[in-house]
Structure 1
Amino acid sequence: MMIVAELLMGAVTGFDLALMGVAVAAGGSVGLYFTSTKIGLLAAGILAVLYVLVVRRKLRARLLSKPTQPTNVDAVIGSIGVVVQRIAIHDAGRVKVGNEEWRASLAPDAGEVREIGQTVRVEAASGVTLVVR
């Protein structure tokens, strides 16, 4: 029943209901093995508590501690690029970072203009526009 509720609710619960359902099902299996409802309920309760106190904490720490690879725009932040189209304080231009050409604007405190051929450092990204200095 908990697994069905998890599937209906989607990822909102963080997979907790499904794992609680597994704990309750395992407890029910123990009860069937011993042909005792009391033992099944006791085992289900113990397994559910163990999940909440031990497994859940370790599982979340493991799932949330994975470092993420920067992709797309985030991957170029901190990189050096070359201006291929003039960039002025209120007029975006273009820079080449690696093998890709990006739309770029100047950081507010970066000065007035960057001419073609000058090198710039990517400070941030705003949508698909790089903010350079």
Structure 2
Amino acid sequence: MDWLSDNLWSVWLTAAAILGVAELMSLDLVLVMLAVGAIAGAVVALVGAPLVLQLVVAGGAAAAMLLLVRPPVLKRLHTGPELRLGHGKLVGREAVVTERITAHETGRIRVGGEIWSATPYDDLTTIEAGETVEVLQIRGATARVHPIPSLEG
């Protein structure tokens, strides 16, 4: 029994290893948080603290991991990048005007390697060929665009 009390840190590390391997089977991110608590207990045991303090530190570290770390990690894992399909993926992209665009004349833009018909988002705006625009909206097969100011002006 003296060996166990002198080497309690090894028991904590063994528990952490077992919890870590068990986490590989469950993938809940609960057991790995408990394993971190066991590692904290091992560190306190290495310092030579009494068993009660080791239990308190291990429990506190595990609880902190479960309450503070696990929720944001789970949220990050369960939310991926937004998938935009169809013409919605063009909104927000830059395009080059290939034919003059006015409120009365539908022009053309090149965006994403495709030619689209385009009208100005603001009906008072005239956009000349060669200017860079941002696609703000798609209505049917027509892009609603707004010019991007250039630094050369």
Task: With the length of structure 2 as denominator, give the TM-score of the two structures.
Answer: 0.41
The structure with more radius of gyration: 2
The structure with the greater share of residues assigned to strand is 1
